[in-house]
Amino acid sequence: MTELVAISHPDVPQGEMNALVDEAAAAGYTVALHRAGRRFLVFARPGYAAPPGSDFFRSKAYISDVISGNSAHPLGDRTRYPHGSTVQVGGIRFGGGQSVIIAGPCSAETPEVLLETAAKVRESGASMLRVGVFKPRTSPYTFQGLGAAAFEALIEARSRYGLPIVSEITSVSQLDALLSTVDMLQVGARNMQNYPLLSALGTCDRPVLLKRGLAATVDEWLSAAEYLLAGGNEQVVLCERGIRTYERSTRFTLDLGVVPVLKGRTHLPVIVDPSHGTGRADLIHPMSRAAIAAGADGVIVEVHPRPAQALSDGFQSLDLPGFKQLVTELEPVAQAVGRPLHAYSDLQPV
Amino acid sequence: MTELVAISHPDVPQGEMNALVDEAAAAGYTVALHRAGRRFLVFARPGYAAPPGSDFFRSKAYISDVISGNSAHPLGDRTRYPHGSTVQVGGIRFGGGQSVIIAGPCSAETPEVLLETAAKVRESGASMLRVGVFKPRTSPYTFQGLGAAAFEALIEARSRYGLPIVSEITSVSQLDALLSTVDMLQVGARNMQNYPLLSALGTCDRPVLLKRGLAATVDEWLSAAEYLLAGGNEQVVLCERGIRTYERSTRFTLDLGVVPVLKGRTHLPVIVDPSHGTGRADLIHPMSRAAIAAGADGVIVEVHPRPAQALSDGFQSLDLPGFKQLVTELEPVAQAVGRPLHAYSDLQPV
Amino acid sequence: MTELVAISHPDVPQGEMNALVDEAAAAGYTVALHRAGRRFLVFARPGYAAPPGSDFFRSKAYISDVISGNSAHPLGDRTRYPHGSTVQVGGIRFGGGQSVIIAGPCSAETPEVLLETAAKVRESGASMLRVGVFKPRTSPYTFQGLGAAAFEALIEARSRYGLPIVSEITSVSQLDALLSTVDMLQVGARNMQNYPLLSALGTCDRPVLLKRGLAATVDEWLSAAEYLLAGGNEQVVLCERGIRTYERSTRFTLDLGVVPVLKGRTHLPVIVDPSHGTGRADLIHPMSRAAIAAGADGVIVEVHPRPAQALSDGFQSLDLPGFKQLVTELEPVAQAVGRPLHAYSDLQPV
Amino acid sequence: MTELVAISHPDVPQGEMNALVDEAAAAGYTVALHRAGRRFLVFARPGYAAPPGSDFFRSKAYISDVISGNSAHPLGDRTRYPHGSTVQVGGIRFGGGQSVIIAGPCSAETPEVLLETAAKVRESGASMLRVGVFKPRTSPYTFQGLGAAAFEALIEARSRYGLPIVSEITSVSQLDALLSTVDMLQVGARNMQNYPLLSALGTCDRPVLLKRGLAATVDEWLSAAEYLLAGGNEQVVLCERGIRTYERSTRFTLDLGVVPVLKGRTHLPVIVDPSHGTGRADLIHPMSRAAIAAGADGVIVEVHPRPAQALSDGFQSLDLPGFKQLVTELEPVAQAVGRPLHAYSDLQPV
């Protein structure tokens, strides 16, 4: 493993970096240069000859950060921003000391359902809207989402209710359409290790919500984030959504321990999805409380006006009164741990 | 599966039950009689002939409860006590709307360490003392606990500080000694399916803390509790302590989702052990907060005055200031969810 | 779930199918029509009115198969081809009663390594060559494969040694290049649920090797295959490659039980990858023997002339004498279970 | 960790060992003495002063073995008997180059079923009889085995058919009765970490079949065996019986990779239980073949004359023709891997 990773400022000329590498090698480092989007990373290991300290790199004008190494994911490493980084989506800020609630239907089934849900979750206290347009479905014979046909309704929902929107991307071919419609791109559990997709998102200027793969280790997850960060996109929020274990009383096992684990290892904000994480609507309330108490920067929950009629995931969706109750319950817990619910009063009025 | 389980009062004569079984059979039920400690259980399935309603059993003088069946664990089933049962240990009550904190060293290494820890955790707000005397250790070549040599110190700790004590039992042969020394018997994860041990504890009049096996399903856990309940011992508290999964950033994966799952299925109180559940001292604070927020009736944590010198499990033990901080952090969360910390003021003064 | 799935011949006019659907509805079926590549699927559930038997569909000229339903993966279901289907790749046939050995380096590091390995594995008894060109790597900072630069060497290897080649595809954008170079396209574990990729491969006329996702259930795996089959590509071979469990003495847990499970549920051929499945070169021999004994149609193993110098996965690669020994050991086991090693004598001479 | 473990001959006087420890300390070792049944273990780590080689210990008359350390399970370590140890049960030898088939009913339901099964499995080629007397059952309300009532039938079965018998022990209180009835004591998965039970068996002179816990790591399993070995009982056979994973198409996931893993780490014989390991009668044939091909020293399978009527585990039991077919299929595979089926011709004639 390496001892140091020096991270360049954006857009440094390649020639300058080549010269730096030569200089470092002459000074006794074993050096590898890696291009990461608009930046370069210099992985440097001191040699047997007395090596210069990390000041060697810090003193260079075109170097932005030097992190002390052995991290497999240097750009996301907590040591880089010890107080955590924040990610801004519309008027919402993840990681800034407030708890964010994202809510909405599993998929945009009809414009009416989407608009009704958006109106009600905003009224109850959601800060952001989630909605599936391109759905990755286990079976090819089930409802696959409305696809592009949903875009008009999304735009309408955002303009009416001012809620930023997060939606899943499953293929690079959907990127342009989603960039012109939604505020944050979600990479779902099944695509956490879809590296061509991550690389494409790494070069975008749009926040990404990176869900944990359903059997991903913390290291694999942070490495997946590194594809985004190395590409130049530093607006990354991680989302725990349950892991696959032997236990069957819940659809997945929500791994809340990962929240403080991540807080110690990465500067990226972390939220929790108790809908997918448990697969049971009746567990959303207690597990949302627990997620906030464990230190999460927010939760993302599925809400549907009539869950029993939902085309997908109704069994893990709150109804509208259930969502209102959720916000009521979360408020005192969020206060108790010092990260109050996001004040959505600044959102554009209806 | 059965449709009804009729549970007798304690100590009903066998002859009365035999007569009832005959009467029920004549009335069209298929019936099985099972002795459960001081009680009998009648498993009854109505036949094709128009069966009498459950009033048939309810009307019998020697029947205490009739629960509507298909439950594999009728005595622990939530339908039996829809508001939950409570378990009293000394002045402490589990399941009664307060959050209980149990704290203490992994094992009673020396009388001094035990007494020092007891004094300090009581001062900081613990309601009960945990301490290992008989330690089940993975390797035969590691410290196995003090065994009976620790008993004097336990008695001293309780008499000085008034804290009820819970300690693990690993063999029926230890039962008499533990009964004369501790207030609650713990069945550890490795013994959750040690049915001869459970059966023996089922006939005791002493509360039992039943930890989840490290790969036990909820059903297996409730069935293990049923061995205790069927034996006649209804003073059972369940304890989630982490399950074994693929993830390695924590020693086990603390399954907090199981707390609300259990609350829906059993009337027994449920607590959480974040020390064993994560194997990391730095995760005890956030996961204790999360456990209480998820609905647990308490937490049990390892505390050692000098964790680095502990003979076992130091890496997952809080030090004394860390424990004090834990109580400070838990208080507002416990208030926020309406189950305040147990008021230990009634404990016998020092 | 449905009771019947009627599968059309390829290229039936849409109008004919619409008419059939109307007719079926009038006859009392609840019907859904689904286009699957060049075919249509009719999902039909009989109604309360006395429904016509499956002969209703079987008698229609444009219907090819009617399978009795409740299968979530009708096109791959064993009932469709009770004796199993076969997949032809060059001169190799999977599922036809012979055991196939696929061997080769994890990645095409240099043309020389590739050609040396190809020559030697052919000489020792491999029937097919595996080689990675586009490597999905957990970290963005590790060797990502040669990419298109490797194609010339692949073409050379095939023309010199006559071994068909399988290589992984990780993005639709690589499809044209791979189609003009390799004989079989591999979908790796990380992409098993990359549905846009599967859909694209479903419309190709090229065999696909579909590896199991590292935490995929059998149902999810068969559903992933269904995306290929529904697209019209019926040349699908499944490959068990180890699942993620708590056990750490092997990198993954090779689930050989899945081989007979699949043989009972799907007509598709099944092979096993003991290199990835265990992550240990020393386990390739015993687990290859076990795979063939369990009923697998072949194995795929990593071989490198100098594993210690491999740029990736050397720890799970056989060296050349080790591969020769593998074939020697597999031969009697393959004979013992009645599926002898593929006779590679028909391959084009060197 | 230690560098050396010196193992004494049995029954060396304590005083001699104390003297050795003093001498070793004076020579620069850090030493710990551990009593292991009739033997002593000296754990010795060389100090900073130039330490004497391991010859220091080897030269002592009362030392039997010196194994080079860092092993957490020195007595079972492969380095102690690099060619493997063997365990004799009646006329059967485990680990001696033959494949052993153990067969019999899950439990001794009636004497008739037991005797019928014994006669038939012997005729078909079983070398040993398995039968449950004390059954650990998940629920207290299901059939718990005949208990001591079955002993007479066991004795009759052995005397009639000459098959050695293995049966499970779940409590130390059953030990005397089982010692006078059966040839080998089985420790089931649920009791693999029941250390008081293991310690008691460690002081017996009776072979033990130690099943893997259903979520036990290889290290935990070897450590459990160490309790037996350290107690002085070296007649230990390990049995893989499936581990708990997320996959549900089989009841457990049979981990055949553990067979070669164990062969590299311990000298103890290893067999496989495909009945419990898969929970499906239809998988016993292929997984038995695979187990032998992977290097197992035998298999243990459930057989019942009428599986559909079995009081327990019928779904994972072969019927009598199925067992006969199993032997027929195993024979050529066992030959192919050079460990032919045990020749049972030496068994006492009927």
- The average confidence (pLDDT) of chain C is 91
Q: Out of A257, A278, A329, name the one closest to residue B253 (CB).
A: A257
- Position D144 scores a pLDDT of 74
The predicted structure's pLDDT at residue A107: 86
Q: Does D330 touch chain C (CB under 8 A)?
A: no
Residue D73 C-beta-side C-alpha neighbours within 13 Å: 22
How do residues D245-272 score in pLDDT, each as one tens digit? 999 999 999 999 999 999 999 999 999 9
Whole-number pLDDT of residue D344: 59
Q: In what order do the strands lie in the sheet with B29-36?
A: B29-36, B39-46, B4-8, B63-68
* A256/B254 Cβ within 8 A: yes
Alpha-helix residue ranges (DSSP H) falling in chain C: 14-26, 55-58, 111-124, 151-161, 175-179, 195-202, 218-231, 258-265, 274-278, 284-294, 320-336
Minimal Cα distance from D214: which residue of A? A246
Is a pLDDT exceeding 90 seen at residue C10? Answer: no
Q: Which of residues 104-123 of A touch B (CB under 8 A)?
A: none
- Are A196 and C215 a contacting pair at CB < 8 A? no
Q: Averaged over C288-311, what is the pLDDT?
A: 95
Taking CA–CA distances from C215, the nearest residue in chain B reads B246
**According to CATH, where is 3.30.70.1140 located in chain D?**
4-68
Question: Which positions in chain B touch C215 (Cβ < 8 Å)?
Answer: 246
Q: What is the ipTM of this complex?
A: 0.91
Look at residue C49 in the predicted model and tell me its pLDDT.
60
Residues of chain A with CATH 3.20.20.70: 87-346
User: CB neighbours of C328 closer than 8 A, spacing ≥ 6?
Assistant: none
Test C244 with B246 for CB contact under 8 angstroms. yes
**Cβ within 8 Å, pair C290-D286:** no
Least confident of B100-104, C96-100, D107-111, D204-208: D107-111
Cα–chain-centroid distance for residue C35?
Answer: 23
Chain B residue numbers with beta carbons less than 8 Å from the beta carbon of D214 are 215
Task: Determine, for residues D245 and C245 on separate chains, whether the beta-carbon distance falls below 8 Å.
Answer: yes
D window 48-107, beta carbon within 8 A of C = none
CB contact under 8 A, B218 and A295: no
Q: Which two tokens stand for residue A256?
A: 């809340």
- Inter-chain touch A34–C141, beta carbons under 8 Å: yes
CA distance A86 to A99: 12
Chain A residue with Cα closest to C222: A139
Q: Which of B327, B250, B311 is nearest to B281 (CA)?
A: B250
Average pLDDT over residues C234-239: 97
Which among C218, C253, C333 has CB closest to D245?
C253
Output the pLDDT for position C48. 64
Q: Chains touching chain D at 3 or more Cβ pairs under 8 angstroms?
A: A, B, C
**Which of B244, B246, B250 should be substituted to probe chain C, the one whose Cβ sees the most C Cβ atoms within 10 Å?**
B246
Model confidence pLDDT, tens digit, residues B40-90: 888 888 776 656 667 888 888 899 888 776 678 889 999 889 999 999 999
CA angle D279, B239, A258 (to 5 degrees): 85
Residue D161 Cα, gap to closest chain B Cα (Å):
32
B1 has a pLDDT exceeding 50: no
Q: How far apart are CA A251 and CA A243, in angstroms?
A: 9
Range scoring the smallest mean pLDDT among B29-33, C48-52, C154-158: C48-52
Separation of alpha carbons D191 and D214, rounded Å: 10
Extract the runs of DSSP E, i.e. beta strands, from A163-232. Answer: 165-168, 184-187, 208-211
Query: Quick check: C135 pLDDT over 50?
Result: yes
pLDDT at B350: 46
Per-state percent for chain B, helix, strand, coil, to nearest 5:
40, 20, 40
Neighboring chains of B (3 or more beta-carbon pairs < 8 A): A, C, D
Query: If pLDDT is split at 50, 70 and 90, which confidence band does C52 have?
Result: low
Q: CB distance from A245 to chain D under 8 Å?
A: yes
Biggest alpha carbon–alpha carbon distance for chain B: 70
| C143 pLDDT more than 80 | no
Which class is C87-346 in CATH? alpha beta
Question: In terms of CA atoms, which chain B residue is nearest residue D223?
Answer: B139
The pLDDT value recorded for residue D330 is: 98
Chain D residue closest in CA terms to B136? D195
How would CATH label the architecture of A4-68? 2-Layer Sandwich (3.30)
Residues of C in contact with B215 (CB under 8 A): 246
Q: Residue A70 has what pLDDT? A: 65
Instruction: Report the pLDDT value the prediction gives residue B229, as an integer from 0 to 100.
Output: 94
Mean pLDDT by groups of 10 residues along chain A of 350 residues: 76 92 88 82 76 79 80 87 95 95 91 94 95 88 79 92 95 95 97 96 96 97 95 95 97 98 97 97 98 98 93 89 97 97 60
Report the residue of chain C nearest A220, measured CA to CA: C138
State the smallest CA–CA distance between residue B9 and chain A in angstroms: 32
> What's the gap in Å between the CA of B292 and the closest CA on chain A?
8
pLDDT for res A1: 38
Instruction: Provide CATH code, domain C4-70.
Output: 3.30.70.1140
Contact of D218 with chain B, judged by CB distance below 8 Å, is answered with: no
Chains that touch C (3 or more CB pairs under 8 A): A, B, D
A283–B261: do the CB atoms touch at under 8 Å? Answer: yes
Taking the Cβ of residue A295 and every Cβ of chain B, the question of whether any pair is shorter than 8 Å is answered with yes
The chain C residue lying nearest B244, using CA atoms, is C246
pLDDT tens, chain D, 350 aa long = 347 888 898 889 999 999 999 999 888 888 888 887 778 888 888 776 656 667 888 888 899 888 776 678 889 999 889 999 999 999 999 999 999 999 999 888 888 999 999 999 999 999 999 999 998 888 888 777 788 888 999 999 999 999 999 999 999 999 999 999 999 999 999 999 999 999 999 999 999 999 999 999 999 999 999 999 988 899 999 999 999 999 999 999 999 999 999 999 999 999 999 999 999 999 999 999 999 999 999 999 999 999 998 888 888 999 999 999 999 999 999 999 999 998 755 454 44
Question: What's the whole-number average pLDDT of chain B?
Answer: 91
Q: What is the pTM of this model?
A: 0.92
Q: What is the pLDDT of residue C109?
A: 82
- Output C37 or C110, whichever has higher pLDDT: C110
CA C116 → CA B158, C305, C350, distances in Å?
75, 8, 13
**Whether D170 and B195 lie within 8 Å, measured CB to CB:** yes
Lowest-pLDDT range of B6-15, C180-189, C316-325: B6-15
* Mutation for B interface: D75, D77, D135, D139, most B CBs within 10 A: D139
Which pair of tokens denotes residue A310?
């939902």
Q: Do B253 and A255 touch (CB under 8 A)?
A: yes
Mutate to test the interface with A, among C34, C138, C227 (most CBs of A within 10 A): C138
List of chain C residues whose C-beta atoms are within 8 Å of the C-beta of residue D78:
none
Name the residue facing C195 among A34, A170, A214 (closest C-beta).
A170
